[in-house]
Amino acid sequence: MQKFIVRRLLSVIPVLFVVSVVIFTLLKMVPGSPAATLLGDLATADDIAKLEEKMGLNRPLVEQYFIWIGNMFHGDFGISTAGGEPVASVVFSHVKPTISLALYALIIASVIAIPMGMLAAKNKGTGIDHGVTVLSLAGISLPSFLFGLFLMLIFAVKLHFFPVSGYVEISRGLWPHIKSLTLPAVALGFMNAALMMRMTRSAMLEVLGSDYIRMAKAKGVRNFVITTKHALRNSLVTIITMIGQSAVQMLAGAAVIESLFAIPGLGQLMVNSIGRRDYYVIQAIVLLIALFNVLINMLVDLLYGVADPRVRAT
Amino acid sequence: MLGTNGSEGAMTYTAAQNDLSLQKKKLAQEQFEIRLKKFTHNRASVFGLAVVTLVIVLAVFAPLIALHDPLAMNTADRLKGISAEHWFGTDNMGRDVFARVLYGARISLTVGFTVGLVSGFLGLVIGLYASTNKLADNILMRVCDGLKAIPSTLLAITMMAVLGADIKNVIISLIVVNIPNMARLARSQALVVKEQTYIEAMRCLGSSQKRILWAHIVPNILSPMIVQMTFVFASAIITEAALSFLGAGVPAPAPSWGNILKEGKDVIYTAWWMILFPGVFTALTVLGLNLLGDGVRDLMDPKSN
């Protein structure tokens, strides 16, 4: 197990290296000098040259890359061109709503999708199964922002059950907080729920068709015990993967949903930063989410080892 | 082939071989017919095909079907509901939503098709190359891992932020975003096919690497690639709409579905038709492509017979 963990940890390094190179390259492709953007329209060529010198922008690209990486290890992600604040603090102040939203969406998706996927697998070929299949297809084909718009139109504009947009902080009460996040969370969770349903169904079907389940049935084990203890445990690897991937997808999908519902999280910050050409903020958010993605994938792989002893051996 | 040098033995041999290849052809034909029957019997795939065909027809003949110019503003007719004159109502600038949705299909289909085709082809080339060269494999696959570590929507948004909102840039960013998955698929499939006995036989016969790759491996990995391309087609339509919705996709006056939805969101209290119609078109097109993809997979996979 230890060897497995160490190997998995080491495999993260090349991925993060490539991610950083990709983001660095993208930043370098931005037209115009960041120094000029920071100083604004009134800056003279002399001022720009001085700041470029100070920021190390006139050094070779490889050197710039290492300075950039080194700064980030010290928590220095640059200065936001919009407000002049350090990027790290700007980004940090937008983290909370996104975490709330993603967590809520993840809970909605898992609570709906996993039992429904199991139910469909257990009743394969029946009306329940077809219903779940149709529902999951609908979820996959309906982009989350579109679903969000439909939800907004029906439940906020026409029925007034929920606020159309806006965000209420948790400090102002749990219920208003949940209410302000319900439509966005459902919109964000639906597509992932669809994928989860599909995969839980197929993973369960595979397990239910195996010899040891037939054996358990022959022994007279109750159906409930077979489903929850034998089948679920063995489809756990697939389910863990799905939840991990969904968590990442939700952070990414939050960009669109937060803009739609005016939630001041990372996604909205990123989209607003595009309009403001605030590239350092964009870079920091992408890097943060990529890092989160890599860590989640690693955690998922490690959990495999816990859920399924066969994985540890390979 | 063994010669047709005129001797009787060789003639019979060729005749027998011709007969055999004829039989093979017939068998392949029959198998294809069986699969086609299976495809047409699957209501879901037929529905998918019908929807996609319909959207293509509407997009191609948009100038004949739509009665209005999608860009023609008419301030007197702002935000008018459904009528005989404006089937899908008008938008906040008095433009005909029906015309805009039809012309929007052109944009979505162009983006989706180009992205599917080009990312499929480039992914194929990269995957094939990776499957033949260990060093290249290591480097290319690490790059793919790195690109995949950034969620595709975010990578697309970032690229659009850097490149600037433009339909050409939307296509470029979506191609870049989709190549890693395509390359991984092509590589894994190529690695499996490479180990088959017939490839080994070709190698023993002295076939060149290039010939083995393009004449023998490619045809054998093409079907999963094509299936994947239909899914990329669908997801590219979604991402393009999302990018345009965020204002980072196709620039404003152009009637992209994402743009119509973005403008519709601002008038959500008064003009539900600006959200419903482009929304339904987007969802149905993507659904159609997904169903079609499933159908094509069953059609091309010999194992599913």
Nearest to A18 among B143, B247, B291 (CB): B143
User: What residues 132-191 of chain A have any CB closer than 8 A to a CB of chain B?
Assistant: 137-138, 140-143, 145-146, 149-150, 152-153, 157, 164
Q: Across residues B80-104, what is the average pLDDT?
A: 84
Whether B171 is in a domain gets the answer: yes
ipTM of the complex, rounded to two decimals: 0.84
What are the residues of chain B with a beta carbon less than 8 Å away from any beta carbon of chain A? 142-143, 145-147, 149-155, 157-163, 234, 238, 241-242, 245-248, 261, 264-265, 268-269, 272, 275-276, 279, 282-284, 286-287, 290-291
Q: Which of A26, A149, A256 sits opposite B162 (nearest CB)?
A: A26
Contacts of B147 in chain A (CB under 8 A): 18, 22
Would you say A232 and A240 are in contact if contact means Cβ atoms under 8 Å apart?
A: no
Which runs of consecutive H residues, i.e. helices, occur in B74-166?
97-132, 134-149, 152-163
**Which residues in chain B are contacts of A260 at CB distance < 8 A?**
245, 265
A152 CB neighbours in chain B (<8 A) are: 268
Looking at beta carbons, which residues of chain B come within 8 Å of A286?
Answer: 150, 154-155, 158
Q: How far A268 CA lies from chain B's nearest CA (Å)? A: 10
The number of folded domains in chain A is 1
pLDDT at position B3 over 50: no
Between A61-65, A180-184, B282-286, B288-292, the lowest mean confidence (pLDDT) is in A61-65
Angstrom CA distances, B111 to B103, B125, B168, B181, B222, stand at 13, 21, 9, 18, 22
List chain A residues with CB under 8 Å of B246.
255-256, 259, 271, 274
Q: Please report whether residue A128 resides in a domain.
A: yes
- The whole-angstrom separation of Cα A142 and Cα B285 is 10
Q: Is residue B34 in some structural domain?
A: no
Q: Per the CB < 8 Å rule, is B261 touching A146?
A: yes
In a domain, A227, yes or no: yes
Residue B118 pLDDT exceeds 90: yes
In degrees rounded to 5, what are phi and psi of residue A86? -65, 140
When pLDDT is cut at 50, 70 and 90, the band that residue B253 belongs to is confident
Q: What chain B residue is nearest to A284 in terms of C-alpha separation?
A: B158
**What does the pLDDT read at residue B124?**
94
- Mutate which: A147, A260, A274, vs B, most B CBs within 10 A: A274
- Asked whether residue A70 is domain-assigned, the answer is no
Greatest mean pLDDT among A178-187, B117-126, B250-259 lies in B117-126
* pLDDT tens for each residue of B131-190: 888 898 888 888 888 888 888 888 898 888 888 888 999 999 999 999 999 999 999 999
Interface contact flag, B282 A146, Cβ < 8 Å? yes
The pLDDT, as a whole number, for residue B294 is 84
Structural domains in chain B (count):
1
**CA of A245, closest CA in chain B: separation in Å?**
10
The verdict on a CB contact (< 8 Å) between B149 and A294 is yes
Query: Which residues of chain A lie closer than 8 angstroms to B161, CB-CB?
Result: 273-274, 277, 279, 282
pLDDT at position B121 over 80: yes
Quick check: A19 and B268 CB within 8 A?
no
Cβ-defined contact of A149 to B269 (cutoff 8 Å)? no
Q: Is the pLDDT of residue B265 over 60?
A: yes
Residue B258 belongs to what domain range? 43-304
B66: left (phi over 0), alpha (psi -120 to 50) or beta: beta
CB contact under 8 A, A149 and B264: yes
Q: How confident is the model at residue B305 (pLDDT cuts 50, 70, 90)?
A: very low
B142–A15 CB contact, under 8 Å: yes
Token pair recorded at residue B203: 């190698």
Q: Has residue B235 been placed in a domain?
A: yes
A259: domain CATH number is 1.10.3720.10
Q: Do B157 and A274 make contact, defined as CB atoms within 8 angstroms?
A: yes
Q: Which residue has the tokens 């047709």?
A: B4
Question: Could you tell me if residue B19 is inside a domain?
Answer: no
CB contact under 8 A, A26 and B279: no
Domain of residue B95, CATH code: 1.10.3720.10
Is A22 inside a domain boundary?
no
Average pLDDT over residues B189-195: 89
- Res B2 pLDDT > 60: no
% of residues, chain B, pLDDT over 90: 33
Closest chain B C-alpha to A34 CA, distance in angstroms: 12
A304 found inside a domain:
yes
pLDDT at position B13 is: 67
Per-position pLDDT tens, chain A of length 314 = 777 788 878 888 888 888 888 888 888 887 777 777 777 777 788 888 888 787 777 788 888 888 888 888 888 888 887 777 888 888 888 989 999 999 999 999 989 888 898 888 888 888 888 888 888 888 888 888 899 999 998 998 889 888 888 888 888 888 888 888 899 999 999 988 998 888 888 888 888 888 888 888 899 888 888 887 888 777 787 788 888 888 888 888 888 899 899 999 998 898 888 877 788 888 889 888 888 888 888 888 888 777 777 766 55
CB contact under 8 A, A19 and B149: yes
Three-state helix/strand/coil letters over chain A: CHHHHHHHHHCHHHHHHHHHHHHHHHHHHCCCCHHHHHHCCCCCHHHHHHHHHHHCCCCCHHHHHHHHHHHHHCCCCCECCCCCCEHHHHHHCCHHHHHHHHHHHHHHHHHHHHHHHHHHHHCCCCHHHHHHHHHHHHHHHCCHHHHHHHHHHHHHHHCCCCCCCCCCCHHHCHHHHHHHHHHHHHHHHHHHHHHHHHHHHHHHHHHHCCHHHHHHHHHCCCHHHHHHHHHHHHCHHHHHHHHHHHHHHHHHHHHHHHHHHCCCCHHHHHHHHHHHCCHHHHHHHHHHHHHHHHHHHHHHHHHHHHHCHHHHHC
Question: Is B13 part of a structural domain of the chain?
Answer: no
What pLDDT does B174 receive? Answer: 94
Q: Is A225 domain-assigned? A: yes
Cα B8 → chain centroid: 52
Q: Flag whether residue A13 sits within 8 Å of chain B, measured between CB atoms.
A: no
**Domain, as residue range, for A232:** 87-265+289-313
In this structure, is residue B37 part of a structural domain?
Answer: no
* Cβ-based contacts of B152 with chain A (< 8 Å): 252
The whole-angstrom distance between A308's CA and the closest CA on chain B is 25
